[in-house]
Structure 1
Amino acid sequence: MANDPVGPGDRAALVLFSGGQDSATCLAWALDRFDRVETLGFDYGQRHRVELDRRAALREGLTRIVPAWASRLGDDHTLALDALGQVSETALTRDAAIGYEASGLPNTFVPGRNIVFLTFAAALAYRRGLRHVVGGMCETDYSGYPDCRDDTIKALQVALNLGMERRFVLHTPLMWLDKAQTWGLAESLGGRPLVDLIVEESHTCYLGERGQRHPWGYGCGTCPACRLRADGYARFTAA
């Protein structure tokens, strides 16, 4: 949603990095564009907390795939947002079957999650002197979450800039890509080694299942996140 940054003092970014496919692709995208990139993960009581455990291997793997990225990859941060899990009764934050609410939204929707994430990310970016914030929000292949929409991100950028008197730029490089195109973006950034790294090390499954290995990675294979990832990978490899 923003042009690439310019200027020697405008080359640092903070990536919302969960340890999933989308955030790993966004981290590669940022490392390809910025001189310094820091990462931020959130522990909010998610059932698939195993995703946070994948982050170190992904960060290390990225620096092996493209050696130039090693000097650009900066500090990693993790923030505990337990309150978000406490105020939400969703299938992502409690042991419940995944389904749909009366509103039509899936019960994996954690109200306010991306709004809270980006607000805390901007606060950290403020302290760290980082202007650019990168997130994997997407409204092409997604579950209908309203806080993944482009309009939401644009409105939040305005609010953050007004509320903090900064000129933050919120980048969403996956916003208009489907999952097959997201796999393709990873390949364009780091070749087949990056695709293989994301398959092997990232985690997307909502149930936190890492016992079964599929061609597209680990997961239960039936939750909405697994189905989206599997379908995208099949279309990507068939192209």
Structure 2
Amino acid sequence: MSEPGDDGALVLFSGGQDSTTCLAWALERFARVETVGFDYGQRHRVELERRGVLRQALTRLKGRWARQLGEDHTLSLTALSKVSDTALTRNVEIEMAEGGLPNTFVPGRNIIFLTFAAALAYRRGLRHIVGGMCETDYSGYPDCRDDTIKALQVALNLGMEKRFVLHTPLMWIDKAQTWALAETLGGAPLVEIVIEDTHTCYLGERGARHDWGYGCGTCPACRLRADGFARFHAAKGDAA
């Protein structure tokens, strides 16, 4: 098989705020963009249901994006929930676990996601792989660290004899800056899409509508998103 084309990208697309912002980022940079989501038995699987809604919303936002957005793929990784015992894969209370990590950490999740994404990109002829990993607002998850992603890129390229590039556009920005990046990429309409259509809440709550979007409002993901939105709006007010 020939080397992957340099104009194509595969985005790890969960249906959440971060991955939606990353999808918009990729659509601004690559001529051909495909998406992949993972069903790993997650407690908040409502995020998977938002993916189609979000893809349609983004294609309506910019005609160019509609032409560039290609196929969507959903891969079943339910074995991950069988080997993990976490608050994202079990109906248990979210709390800090031994070792200082929250029990929302799913060991190996991002490593497995990126490995399967690379295998899919190999078949689809896509060189660039985009993920929403972030070391700034990351709850201490070790597989979100820049060093982990760089090491994995080396391993994937050696193991598949390719030259994939793993992109993490959110790595060094916080949640307020992630909101700002969405505004830069798609203006107020993209910010509104993130508010109305994405899902981030770990508990899968979609009933209550807050100014920052839907969610329980109390889990770590909701608190992080809400705090970022408040700081994003405060910064806009200061700049006015």
Residue type at the aligned position of 1:214? H
The structural deviation recorded for 1:238 is 1.0
Q: Which residue in the other structure is 2:68 paired with? A: 72
Instruction: Quote the residue 1:98 is aligned against.
Output: 94
Deviations 1:175-225 (A, max 9, x none): 001000000000000000000001000000000000100000000000000
Indicate the SS of the match to 2:162. Answer: coil
Whether 1:221 and 2:183 are equivalent positions in the alignment is: no
Which of 205, 230, 233 aligns to 2:201? It is 205
Please identify runs of 4+ aligned residues in structure 1 that moved more than 4 A.
none
CA–CA distance in 1 between the matches of 2:168 and 2:38?
A: 18
Which whole-Å deviations, capped at 9, do the CAs of 1:140-181 have from their partners, x for residues lacking one? 012110000000000000000000000000000000010000
**Corresponding letter in the other structure for 1:202:** T
The equivalent of 2:114 in structure 1 is 118
| CA deviation after TM superposition for structure 1 residue 66, in Å | 1.2
Could you tell me which residue of structure 2 aligns to residue 56 of structure 1?
A: 52
Which amino acid is 1:123 matched to?
A
Which residue pairs with 1:29 in the alignment? 25
Aligned-residue RMSD, C-alpha: 0.9
Tell me which amino acid in the other structure corresponds to 1:82: T
Identity, % of aligned pairs? 79
- 2:116 maps to a residue whose letter is F
Q: Secondary structure at the match of 2:36?
A: strand
Return the alpha-carbon distance in structure 1 between the equivalents of residues 177 and 61 of structure 2.
20
Q: TM-score, normalised by structure 2?
A: 0.96
Consecutive unaligned residues of structure 2, counting only runs of 5 or more, are: 236-240
Match status 1:167 vs 2:159: no
AA in 2 matched with 1:111: P
Q: Hey, what does 1:4 align to over in structure 2?
A: none
The structural deviation recorded for 1:9 is 4.1
Deviation at 1:67, TM superposition (A): 1.3
SS of the residue corresponding to residue 71 of structure 2 reads strand
Name the residue aligned to 1:184.
180
- State the one-letter code of the partner of 1:45: G
1:47 paired to 2:43: yes
2:238 matched to which residue of 1? none
Q: C-alpha distance in 1, partners of 2:132/2:190?
A: 17
Q: Which runs of 5+ in 1 are unaligned?
A: 1-7
Corresponding residue for residue 142 of structure 1 = 138
Q: How many residues align?
A: 232
3-state SS, counterpart of residue 6 of structure 2 = coil
C-alpha distance in 2 between matches for 1:199 and 1:226:
12
- Paired with 2:98 and 2:182, the residues of 1 have a C-alpha distance of 36
